[in-house]
Structure 1
Amino acid sequence: MPADPIGRFLAALDPDHREAVSGRPRAEQERLAAAWERELESDDELDTLDELSPPAAEAEAARRVMNREA
């Protein structure tokens, strides 16, 4: 698993979004990864999911961030 926030965010994305975000400028990737980390930290619902399945919680947070971007 990637250690840097951008790598972790990209790993949590579905393949289509991963490809789209990979093509964006580094600053945009950093902004999205920061939004993803805030989503993971701030949502109690994701805390519960994280206890059951950390990858599922990360994927859900990534989905939410990308939905807000649309």
Structure 2
Amino acid sequence: MRTDPVERFLAALDPGHREAVGAKPREEQEQLAAAWERELEADDELDILDELSPAAAEAEAARRVMDRDAG
């Protein structure tokens, strides 16, 4: 199991976003990973989804973070 937040965040991203985030400086990757972890912790809907499919919850949180980053 991956323990590095950046690695876990990258694994949760879709391939296109994974490549784009992987090309960013490490500091920016860490900021996005921290936002992703906050999203996972703060959203009750993701808690429910996490019980059914942890990978789906992580992917949804990653999508939300990338949507905010793009906006």
Q: Distance in 1 between matches of 2:6 and 2:41?
A: 16
Identity %: 79
Q: TM-score under structure 1 normalisation?
A: 0.98
User: Normalization by structure 2: what TM-score?
Assistant: 0.97
> Is residue 34 of structure 2 the alignment partner of residue 34 of structure 1?
yes
Partner of 1:21: 21
Deviation at 1:2, TM superposition (A): 1.9
Q: Distance in 2 between matches of 1:10 and 1:23?
A: 11
* Aligned positions, number: 70
* Residue in structure 2 matched with residue 7 of structure 1 by the alignment: 7
Runs of 4+ in 1 over 4 A off after TM superposition: none
Q: Counterparts of 2:68 and 2:18 in 1: how far apart (Å)?
A: 15
Alignment pair present for 1:61 and 2:52: no
Q: Mind listing any 5+ residue stretches in structure 1 that lack a counterpart? A: none
Does residue 51 of the first structure (1) align with residue 51 of the second (2)? yes
Runs of 5+ in structure 2 lacking a partner? none
